[in-house]
Amino acid sequence: MDLDYTPSELMATAGARELQDGEVVAVGLGLPVVASFLAKLTHAPNMTILFELGVINPEPIHCGVGLADPRVWYRANVLSSFVDILGAILHKGLVDVGFLGGLETDQYGNLNTTLLGDPRAKFRHFVGSGGANDIASCARRTIIIIRHEERKLKKAVSFITSPGYITGGDSRAQAGLRGGPSRVITDKAIFGFHPETKQMMLLSIHPGNMLDDVLGTMGFTPIVPQHLPYTEPPTQEQLRLIREVIDPQRMYMG
Amino acid sequence: MRKVTTLAEAVASIPSGAHVALSGFAITRCTMAFAREVIRQGIKGLTISQCVGAMDADLLVGAGAVDRLIYGGGSLDRFGRLACVNRGIEEGTLIAEEYSSLSITFRYLAGSLGLPFIPIRSLRGSDLMKRLQEHDASQIAMVNDPFTGEQWLALQPLLPDVAVVQVQTADEEGNAWIMGPKWDNTEQARASKRTIVIAERVVSGEVIRRDPERTVIPSLLVSHVVELPFAAHPTSVYREYDYDAGQIESYVEATRTPEAFRAYLDQYVYGVKDHWEYLERVGGMRHLNSLRADPILGY
């Protein structure tokens, strides 16, 4: 099938659709930034966008290399601190949605951004938590955005940096945590979580993909419902906003 | 007491083995000139703490000045990872206590308020928590809320010997302005026994008194004030100068092998007498001026 959009553009629009007007959203750089700005420019003008280091509602006109780049702080309403954003807003319980990415996730939405290999023997160390663990622990819900590859969708992760539903069932509540992941958005499909077992559950597959291919490129088998729709493709207006307004230099969309 | 001094003198006040909190965040407001001078003076065995690991910590670790790193994870943003920190952790030459951004901030906050511990919602159910519980003299523990009986994770305060904070503007007493987001710096300075302020410019106290609401660090916390332009180079200082992409890329390239890193240190740290020679080495005023921030954009 010939599509007039890229998998990344579909992921960004799928992320945007998860956000509702008036919500408070904690964002890391990359696709989540595109998804959040897209939602704000379309159906969610009253959304609040937060960057952990102390930035509220920026309106950047240049793409940045990361949260530490003043380009992404431009025209913010507030430039403050971790205590303000991750403390008085996130820890207090005011963040509705947190976007998270990572090296790998498992069938319960546990995320690893720390290391690959055996933590007690040979491993490679990567980035660690930053605000990810705080967002996974304190936001009302989280949305995981990750590439659809067997090495990223694993039966078990090497290290739980940011807990999802831990070992399923009520194990997250037992650990003293509320909230949890609501969606996993990959470049092939969108997943939710079973209300009781908390196992990952296919919700839709992106146009142009076959179910066998989606399942064959994962390290575990998710719950597959009988009725499996295609993910809604981006609209022309969404594509125009992404390409012309939000990421004209294609720094976030690759 | 006169606090304005040279970088060399301020650095010489730090004994080997001290716990130093650094103000950098990835590639912005990093205490780079300070780190280079620490390496030149041969100070070793440091404990470094910061919420998000940054280029200043990575350089110090790479040069062998650090025994222990207490941090919340970190990177050089799109430029790359903290290669020296990561290698130290993988090879076991660096003791790393890994938290999250907020849990380190809360530890500084507890220290700044003089509290014995602080409860937090983060870390629970994660392998970060498991790891931290395994450390000798673990600084986290479960406690019960005395009012409701609810279980909480409690963190001990973090009490650095000294905070080194890169700022835009300070006066001679050390009253310091930080423009832009402050991440953990406000709490870092207050949790530490004393603070060394590294300012792009030192102004008269009269300038500070005209806009005192901008003051983030009050002079009573400050032991030394060092005036040093481009002290965070090659990282950025909001409203002063942009990061130097070419120089950060050279650094990332140099972290790939021990030989290349040694050559980097020889060229930019050991091979220059002080910060002024460093600034010449990276291209002098003609190059540095090209990094100057636009006053409206801030970068």
- How confident is the model over B96-115, as pLDDT tens digits? 999 999 999 999 999 999 99
Is the domain of B48 the same as that of B21? yes
In which band, very low, low, confident or very high, does the pLDDT at B129 lie, cut at 50, 70 and 90? very high
Which residues lie closer than 8 Å to B85 by C-beta, 6 or more apart?
A: A125, B53, B57, B58, B61, B69, B74, B94, B96
Is the domain of B171 the same as that of B71? yes
Of B116, B114, B197, B211, whose CA–CA distance to B154 is shortest? B116
User: Is residue B183 included in any domain, yes or no?
Assistant: yes
Identify the H or E element spanning B69. strand B66-71
Rounded CA gap, B222 and B188, in Å? Answer: 12
B236·A68 Cβ contact <8 A: yes
Nearest CA in chain A to B78: A65
B124·A163 Cβ contact <8 A: yes
Nearest CA in chain B to A166: B125
Is the domain of B201 the same as that of B169? yes
Is the domain of B255 the same as that of B145? no
User: Is residue B103 included in any domain, yes or no?
Assistant: no
Is the domain of B57 the same as that of B182? yes
Is B268's Cβ below 8 Å from some Cβ in A? no
- Per-chain mean pLDDT for chain A: 96
**pLDDT above 70 (res A135):** yes
Overall average pLDDT of the B106-126 stretch = 98
CB < 8 Å from A in window 11-40 of B: 25-28
- How confident is the model over A54-93, as pLDDT tens digits? 999 999 999 899 999 999 999 999 999 999 999 999 999 9
Distance from the B237 Cα atom to the nearest Cα atom in chain A, whole angstroms: 9
Is B270's Cβ below 8 Å from some Cβ in A? no
| Alpha-carbon dihedral sign for residues A88, A90, A94, A99 | positive
Overall average pLDDT of the A116-121 stretch = 93
Is B183's Cβ below 8 Å from some Cβ in A? yes
Rounded CA gap, B74 and B71, in Å? Answer: 8
Residue ranges with strand state E in chain A: 24-26, 48-51, 55-56, 78-79, 97-100, 104-105, 111-112, 115-117, 123-125, 141-145, 181-185, 189-193, 200-205
Q: Which of B98, B187, B297 sits opposite A128 (nearest CB)?
A: B98
SS3 B12: helix
A133·B25 Cβ contact <8 A: no
For B80, the domain range is 7-98+159-289
Catalytic one among A52, A149, A196, A244?
A: A52
- How confident is the model over A165-219, as pLDDT tens digits? 999 999 999 999 999 999 999 999 999 999 999 999 999 999 999 999 999 999 9
Distance from the A95 Cα atom to the nearest Cα atom in chain B, whole angstroms: 14
Q: Kindly report the backbone phi and psi dihedral angles of residue B73, in degrees, each rounded to the nearest multiple of 5, phi listed first.
A: 90, 165
Q: Which of A79, A128, A137 sits opposite B122 (nearest CB)?
A: A137
What is the domain-level CATH number for residue B241?
A: 3.40.1080.10
Is A92's Cβ below 8 Å from some Cβ in B? no
**pLDDT above 60 (res A101):** yes
Is the domain of B163 the same as that of B150? no
User: Is residue B149 included in any domain, yes or no?
Assistant: yes
B122·A83 Cβ contact <8 A: no
Task: Report percent pLDDT > 70 for chain A.
Answer: 99
B77·A79 Cβ contact <8 A: no
Identify the H or E element spanning A134. helix A132-138
Amino acid at position A168, single letter: G
pLDDT of residue A48: 98
Is the domain of B248 the same as that of B145? no
Per the structure, the count of domains in chain B is 2
In which band, very low, low, confident or very high, does the pLDDT at B135 lie, cut at 50, 70 and 90? confident
- How confident is the model over B46-79, as pLDDT tens digits? 999 999 999 999 999 999 999 999 999 999 999 9
Is A52 known to be catalytic? Answer: yes
Question: Taking phi first (over 0 means left), then psi (-120 to 50 degrees means alpha), and beta for anything else, what does residue A224 get?
Answer: beta
Helices (H), ranges, chain B: 7-12, 32-41, 55-62, 83-91, 101-113, 127-134, 185-191, 205-210, 245-254, 258-265, 275-281, 284-289
User: Is residue B20 included in any domain, yes or no?
Assistant: yes
User: Is residue B106 included in any domain, yes or no?
Assistant: no
B127·A171 Cβ contact <8 A: no
Rounded CA gap, B222 and B209, in Å? Answer: 17
pTM above 0.90, yes or no: yes
User: Is residue B2 included in any domain, yes or no?
Assistant: no
Overall average pLDDT of the B171-182 stretch = 98
Of B50, B49, B65, whose CA–CA distance to B17 is shortest? B65
Rounded CA gap, B161 and A222, in Å? Answer: 51
Mean pLDDT lowest for which of A239-243, A246-250, B71-75?
A246-250
Whether the CB-CB separation of B185 and B168 falls below 8 Å is answered with no
8-state DSSP, B241: B
Which residues lie closer than 8 Å to B161 by C-beta, 6 or more apart?
A: B14, B18, B19, B20, B192, B193, B194
The pair of structure tokens assigned to B232 is 């965070």
Is B241's Cβ below 8 Å from some Cβ in A? no
**pLDDT above 90 (res B37):** yes
Terminal Cα distance for chain A, rounded: 21
Question: Taking phi first (over 0 means left), then psi (-120 to 50 degrees means alpha), and beta for anything else, what does residue B258 get?
Answer: alpha
pLDDT of residue A28: 81
Whether the CB-CB separation of B206 and B35 falls below 8 Å is answered with no
Rounded CA gap, B230 and B190, in Å? Answer: 25
Is the domain of B47 the same as that of B167? yes
pLDDT of residue A2: 65
In which band, very low, low, confident or very high, does the pLDDT at A249 lie, cut at 50, 70 and 90? confident
Q: Which residues of A touch B85 (CB under 8 A)?
A: 125
Residue with tokens 């099938």: A1
Question: Can you list the domains of chain A with their CATH numbers?
Answer: 7-246 (3.40.1080.10)
pLDDT of residue A252: 83
Residue with tokens 């406000």: B186
The pair of structure tokens assigned to B182 is 């402050």
Task: Report percent pLDDT > 90 for chain B.
Answer: 98
A134·B101 Cβ contact <8 A: yes
Is the domain of B136 the same as that of B258? no
The pair of structure tokens assigned to B103 is 């849990």
Is the domain of B43 the same as that of B191? yes
Of A138, A135, A116, A112, whose CA–CA distance to A125 is shortest? A116
**pLDDT above 70 (res B1):** no
pLDDT of residue B53: 97
User: Is residue B248 included in any domain, yes or no?
Assistant: yes
Beta-carbon neighbour count of residue A192 at 10 Å? 18
User: Is residue B66 included in any domain, yes or no?
Assistant: yes
Task: Report percent pLDDT > 70 for chain B.
Answer: 100
**pLDDT above 60 (res A1):** no
Is the domain of B179 the same as that of B251? yes
Overall average pLDDT of the B281-288 stretch = 98
Rounded CA gap, A213 and B91, in Å? Answer: 39
Which residues lie closer than 8 Å to B25 by C-beta, 6 or more apart?
A: A53, A67, A68, B50, B51, B52, B54, B183
pLDDT of residue B286: 97
CB < 8 Å from B in window 38-57 of A: 52-55
Q: Which residues of B touch A75 (CB under 8 A)?
A: none
Q: Kindly report the backbone phi and psi dihedral angles of residue A135, in degrees, each rounded to the nearest multiple of 5, phi listed first.
A: -65, -45
Q: Kindly report the backbone phi and psi dihedral angles of residue A103, in degrees, each rounded to the nearest multiple of 5, phi listed first.
A: -70, -40
**Burial tier of A143 (Cβ tally within 10 Å: 0-12, 13-18, 19+):** buried
Identify the H or E element spanning B141. strand B140-144
- Per-chain mean pLDDT for chain B: 97
Distance of CA B211 to the CA centre of its chain: 26
Q: Which of B51, B72, B298 sits opposite A70 (nearest CB)?
A: B298
Is the domain of B45 the same as that of B128? no
Which residues lie closer than 8 Å to B159 by C-beta, 6 or more apart?
A: B19, B111, B191, B192, B193
